Amino acid sequence: MTIGQLDGEIRSELGTLPRTLAEVVGRHMVMAGRLLDEDPERAYEHAIYARRKASRIGVVREAAGIAAYTVGKWQEALSDLRAARRMTGRNNFLPVIADAERGLGRPERALEITRDPAAKDLDIEDRIELRIVAAGARHDLGEHQAALVELQVPELKERRARPWVARLFYAYADALLTLNRNEDAREYFARASAVDREGVTDADERLAMLEGVEIVDIDEDIMWTDAEESGNEAEPPASAGAAVSEVRADATDAEEASTASAPVAEGAPAEEGDTAADSEAVDTGAVRQEPADDDAPDASMASGGSDAPAGETEGDEERSKRS
């Protein structure tokens, strides 16, 4: 873990520090970035240590502000991010500043920040995040229709799999649901799920709730099953790439499809007693139960002996001895 793992622009800013101090601060910033998602509290500790050592460096204050925001320290996040904005002249953390205002219970102030003239120069991802924060502030104020309007941007037609696209679709679906437009909400939750390759939303779970089904994880696969019949074994989807909008298949059709698609070895006659359920068990990887011992062929038949039942053969032997 070295300062070399940081972005070149960050290293350049740290270069204004004495070399040894820059190395120490840089290592703590690397750890803060690495732990931010998996252990936010430890990431915050590293970021705060870096801030104590180099509080006049803009990128250090930015890292500390993001870490404080992640653990819900809203006022601290605002202080550090505003300082970072003054020091660096960058505006890319405007959405975080606005959302921290919401965290402090000041949605009106959050809306003012989302209308900052600097917002028009943000990257598309940051502009969308700012619109999502604005919609959240409108919800905080009880202005649910206005929240929907905040999200009606041209990017709603986007189809590429991007984290910000998934978040936009998800926020729009949530706004629709608040207005009791359930069918429209279902469509946008499905769109969010389809483009959410990185799992930034819980669109799958929200969609399942609207569909009246629940998700069951089996290894790395996902099965959908009726929520009211969760005790019964669910039929797995026909393929992993099935569209999200087709999450519920008719149980009878699924069983017939599974039976029809079961491969049969060429030239091998089907044994009597095989059922569609047996074929399905093979297809789905379930353990197939072996026949009971009393159904097994007689040993004499296996060795090419008499086809007569065992009871009759023993009777003939007894009569032979008596005679």
The mean pLDDT value for 296-320 works out to: 43
* Residue 225, strand partner residues: 214
187 to 9, 31, 224, 266: CA distances (angstroms)? 41, 40, 18, 45
Confirm whether 115 is domain-assigned: no
Confirm whether 45 is domain-assigned: yes
pLDDT digit string, tens, across residues 198-226: 889 999 999 998 888 765 655 555 555 55
pLDDT digit string, tens, across residues 91-115: 999 999 999 999 999 999 999 999 9
SS3 of residue 274 by DSSP = coil
User: In the 8-state DSSP scheme, what is residue 117?
Assistant: G
Please tell me the distance from the alpha carbon of residue 131 to that of residue 128, in angstroms, as a whole number.
5
Confirm whether 23 is domain-assigned: yes
Please tell me the distance from the alpha carbon of residue 212 to that of residue 101, in angstroms, as a whole number.
36
Kindly report the CATH number assigned to the domain that includes residue 20: 1.25.40.10
Q: What percent of the chain has pLDDT over 70?
A: 64
pTM above 0.85, yes or no: no
- Identity of the residue numbered 310: A
Residue 160's pLDDT band, with cuts at 50, 70 and 90, is confident
Which position has the higher pLDDT, 239 or 156?
Answer: 156
Name the average pLDDT for the chain.
Answer: 76
112 to 12, 95, 98, 137, 153: CA distances (angstroms)? 33, 11, 8, 10, 19
Residue 229's pLDDT band, with cuts at 50, 70 and 90, is very low
What's the structural domain count of the chain?
Answer: 1
Helical pair 163-178 and 124-140, crossing angle rounded to 10 deg: 20
Quick one: pLDDT at residue 293?
45
Confirm whether 72 is domain-assigned: yes
Confirm whether 74 is domain-assigned: yes
What domain range includes position 46?
1-90
As a whole number of Å, the end-to-end CA separation of the chain is 97
Give me 115's structure tokens: 């209308």
Confirm whether 21 is domain-assigned: yes
Confirm whether 2 is domain-assigned: yes
Quick one: pLDDT at residue 51?
96
pLDDT at 297 over 70: no
Quick one: pLDDT at residue 290?
43
Please tell me the distance from the alpha carbon of residue 176 to that of residue 185, in angstroms, as a whole number.
5
Mapping DSSP onto H, E and C, the string for 237-262 reads CCCCCCCHHHCCCCHHHHHHHHHHCC
Quick one: pLDDT at residue 218?
57
Confirm whether 73 is domain-assigned: yes
Give me 176's structure tokens: 């629709």
